[in-house]
Structure 1
Amino acid sequence: MFRDALLLVVPISLVSLLAGCGQEVSVPATVRPAMVVQPVPSSQSMDSYPGEVRARFEPELAFRIPGKVSKRWVEEGERVKANQPLAELDAQDVRLQLDATRAQVAAAEANLQMVRSERDRYKTLMERQMVSKSQYDNAENLYRAGDARLRQLKAEFTVADNQTGYAVLRASQDGVIAKRLVEVGQVVAAGQTVFTLAADGEREVSISLPEQNYGRFKIGDPVSVELWTQREQRFPGRIRELSPAADPRSRTFAARIAFAGGKVPAELGQSARVFIAAEHNVPLSVPLSALTAENGVTYVWRLQGDNTLKRTPVQVGAYGEESVPVLSGLQASDWVVAAGVHVLHDGEQVRPVDRSNRAVKLAAKE
């Protein structure tokens, strides 16, 4: 009897043990995290144009007289001060001309002294009625002609003296030599550009606008500027100058962009990019990783107010490197899953987080 009772107790114990194990296995399902983002304006919202940082004032320096360059004291990119000598012409010819004019002035002074004495003598004789009035008038005219001739030669001497000084080209103001166009031994004409000076002070960005878009730009339009060395920041600016004629080679129109804010850390020659608002309606865009497709239909996983997912069909535009424009199906206030979309299903509840793994709270909709 004891054996039969033992056989009966053992199955009952096993059943109780199995029942207890079944209750421990029942674990609530975990809510998986999902990285979500909001649609942003597509990059098509801004037209961008490459440019170069230039000085606000860039005078072209030239000799005022022709001649052969005998000396050059500065190189391209060198900083100069106002009135600093930059280059010099062979001034032998202008010095000879100055000497010749000086000699003519001396001869004219001697002649004037002689005709003055002659006029004074004739004046005394006329007062004594020893010469006629016409003879005195002739002496007076010779004196006036001699005096006028001396003034003329003195003016010519001043011009020759100035030209001697013009043989040395000097900087008009503080700045940097942006371009050098001559070498020692080169013969230059009067007014031929020798150096381009980038004056100290304001900095601007020079860009070229395409012919087909030129008509929609005007002076004063707001823009933003991105410097190559500070790509994380954009500086406000405005269109200050528009060329009225296209470049004959590139068929583009030159434009100058002035910075609208305070001092900008822009150096001469730096690369820059100018962003100008597009004139057409701009679509929203989402990351490429947010898209999935099934049976030829493209859709995203949109987060609803109760943190559940809804498969939302969308119409997209041309694919970019990292994002794609969404032409219809989404609003700017929506949140969409940006990663792992191939393992999700409709109605699934998730825990939304941003790219920094911080919890995202959806704004309550009215």
Structure 2
Amino acid sequence: MFRYALPLALPVSLAVLLSACGHEETAQTTVRPAMVVQPEPAAQAMDSYPGEVRARYEPDLAFRIGGKVSRRLVDEGQRVKADQPLAELDPQDVRLQLEATRAQVAAAEANLNLVRSERDRYKTLMDRQLVSRSQYDNAENLYRSGLARLKQIKAEFDVASNQAGYAVLRAPQDGVVARRTVEVGQVVAAGQTVFTLATDGEREVLISLPEQGFGRFRIGQPVSVELWSQPDQRFAGQIRELSPAADPRSRTFAARIAFTAGKVPAELGQSARVFIQTAGSVPLSVPLSAVTAENGAAYVWRVDANNTLKKTPVRLGAFGEKSVPVLEGLGVSDWVVAAGVHVLHEGQQVRPVDRSNRVVNLAAKE
């Protein structure tokens, strides 16, 4: 009897074991991560211009008097503090001028004391009617002339004293020496640029715009900026300044781009690329890895607010090197899976992450 029961018991046992294994595999199924991106303006619909990160304020520094440079205290690229000495002129000439003016002040004071005594004496004599009124008036005029002369010489002394201080060029505020055009022994004129200071604070991107189509650019026009050090990230910006005249050598117009995305990790001298939208409507684009096809119809996997995948048909444009324009089927606020799309299926639950493997909360970004 056991001989006939054993063949019947084995299939039943195997079925129970297989059923238990199936339940165990289902229990161990986890939600897989999926790298997601949002559609961006198509590259071919954007004009790009190379640029350089600059400080928003770059004052040219110069001596207020002329002379021979005796000391240069900073180098190009060096960080400086406000009121820090940058260079000095030979102080001998201004020092001699200050001493000469000081001697003139002493002489004017002595002359004033003399004419004051003469005026007082003539006033006493006039009260006794020993001198005429005209003689007293002459003494009074000499006194007033001496007083005015003293005021003039004191003003000249103040100017000479200030010029002695102008022999030292100081930084007006914190920043970095962006350019230096002076050496020790060089004779400079008053107002001649010797340093360019890139002040601390806001950073901008300086670009050159071609004269053809220059009329389509305007102050306040939104742009996007890509730093060479961070090629996968773009920062929002706008045109802050447009040069009214073309450069005489390059025949291009200088433009300054201000960042509008808050604090941007841009350092002085970094290379950047500015993207400006071309005229007309701008299609969106997604990475090539986000697109797949079935029976000749292209589609992408769109992730909804519940982290569920939905197959979304799209109409594509001409394929680019890294991306492809999406003419129909997606919106700017959509999120699509950018990698591993061939192993996904409709209705699958995923865990959205960005390119840095950080979890993306799509519900909070709706």
Distance (whole Å) between structure 2 residues aligned to residue 136 and residue 41 of structure 1: 92
**Are residues 79 and 145 of structure 1, via their aligned partners in 2, closer, same or farther at CA, if it must alter by over 3 Å?**
same
Cα RMSD for the two superposed structures:
3.1
Q: Structure 1 pair 244/119, CA: closer, same or farther in 2 (3 Å)?
A: same
- SS of alignment partner, residue 296 of structure 2: strand
The answer to whether residue 354 in structure 2 is matched with residue 359 in structure 1 is no
1:99-178 matches, within 5 Å, as 99-178=99-178
**SS in structure 1 at match of 2:141:** helix
Following superposition, the deviation at residue 285 of structure 1 comes to 7.0
Query: Cα distance, 1:213 vs. partner?
Result: 2.3
Indicate conservation of the 8 Å contact 1:210/1:251, yes or no. yes
Structure 2 length normalisation: TM-score? 0.72
Pair 1:253–1:355, CA change in 2 (3 A):
same
SS at match of 2:185: coil
What CA distance in whole angstroms lies between the structure 1 residues aligned with 2:203 and 2:39? 36
Q: Give yes or no for the alignment of 1:301 onto 2:286.
A: no
Q: Secondary structure at the match of 1:191?
A: coil
- Structure-to-structure mapping, 1:183-332, within 5 angstroms: 183-282=183-282, 301-303=296-298, 321=321, 331-332=328-329
Structure 1 segments unaligned to the other structure (5+ residues): 1-37, 291-299, 306-313, 334-352
| Residue in structure 2 matched with residue 179 of structure 1 by the alignment | 179
Q: Distance in 1 between matches of 2:232 and 2:285?
A: 20
Give the conservation status (yes or no) of the 8 Å contact 1:40–1:332.
no
Decide whether the 8 Å contact of 2:61 with 2:197 is kept in 1: yes
How far the C-alpha of 1:227 sits from its partner, in A, is: 1.1
Over residues 143-176 of structure 1, what are the superposed CA-to-partner deviations in whole Å (9 max), with x where a residue is unaligned? 0000101110110011011101000000000111
CA–CA separation in structure 1 for the residues paired with 2:41 and 2:115: 91
SS of alignment partner, residue 140 of structure 1: helix
Q: Residue 35 of structure 1 aligns with which residue?
A: none
Amino acid at match of 2:173: Q
The residue number in structure 1 matching 2:33 is none
Q: Partner amino acid for 2:275?
A: F
What letter matches 1:301 in structure 2? G
* Cα distance in 2 between the residues matched to 1:354 and 1:252: 39
Q: Relative to structure 1, is the Cα distance of residues 51 and 83 closer, same or farther in structure 2, using a 3 angstrom cutoff?
A: same
Q: Is the 8 A contact 1:49 1:274 kept in 2?
A: yes
Give the superposition deviation at 1:281.
3.9
**Which residue pairs with 1:81 in the alignment?**
81
1:44–1:282 CA contact under 8 A, matched in 2: no
Residue of structure 2 equivalent to 1:310: none
Q: Matches of 2:171 and 2:149 in 1, distance apart?
A: 37
1:332: how far off?
Answer: 4.0
Kept in 1: contact 2:81–2:173 (CA 8 A)? yes
Contact conserved, 1:174 with 1:200, CA < 8 A, in 2?
A: yes
- Structure 1 length-normalised TM: 0.72
Please state how far the C-alpha of 1:361 moved relative to its aligned partner. Answer: 3.6
Q: CA-to-partner distance for each residue in 1:331-357, whole Å, 9 max, x for gaps?
A: 445xxxxxxxxxxxxxxxxxxx97314
Paired residue secondary structure (2:233) = strand
Matched residue of 1:201: which SS?
coil
CA–CA distance in 2 between the matches of 1:124 and 1:50?
A: 86
How many correspondences in the alignment? 289
Cα distance in structure 2, aligned partners of 1:250 and 1:281: 31
Q: Distance in 1 between matches of 2:40 and 2:217?
A: 26
Q: Aligned equivalents of 1:44 and 1:85: distance in 2? A: 50
Partner of residue 60, structure 1: 60
In 2: Cα distance, 1:354 partner to 1:232 partner:
14
Alpha-carbon distance in structure 2 between the residues aligned to 1:259 and 1:225: 8
Structure 2: runs of 5 or more not aligned: 1-37, 301-314, 331-336, 348-366
Summarize the Cα distance change of 1:40–1:68 in structure 2 as closer, same or farther, 3 Å threshold. closer
- Give me the whole-angstrom Cα distance separating, in 1, the residues matched to 2:289 and 2:221: 36
Higher alpha-carbon deviation: 175-184 or 259-268:
259-268
* SS at structure 1 position matched to 2:129: coil
* In 1, Cα distance between equivalents of 2:299 and 2:246: 53
CA contact (8 A) 1:69 1:88 kept: yes
1:92 paired to 2:88: no
Q: Structure 1 residues 302, 237: CA separation in 2 closer, same or farther (over 3 Å shift)?
A: same
What is the one-letter code of the residue matched to 1:225? V
Aligned-partner residue type, residue 114 of structure 1: L
Give 1:356's aligned amino acid.
G
Aligned to 1:26: none
Q: 2:287–2:338: 8 Å Cα contact kept in structure 1?
A: no
Flag the 1:323–1:173 CA change in 2: closer, same or farther, 3 A. Answer: closer
Matched letter for residue 302 of structure 1:
A
Contact 1:81 1:171 in 2 (8 A): yes
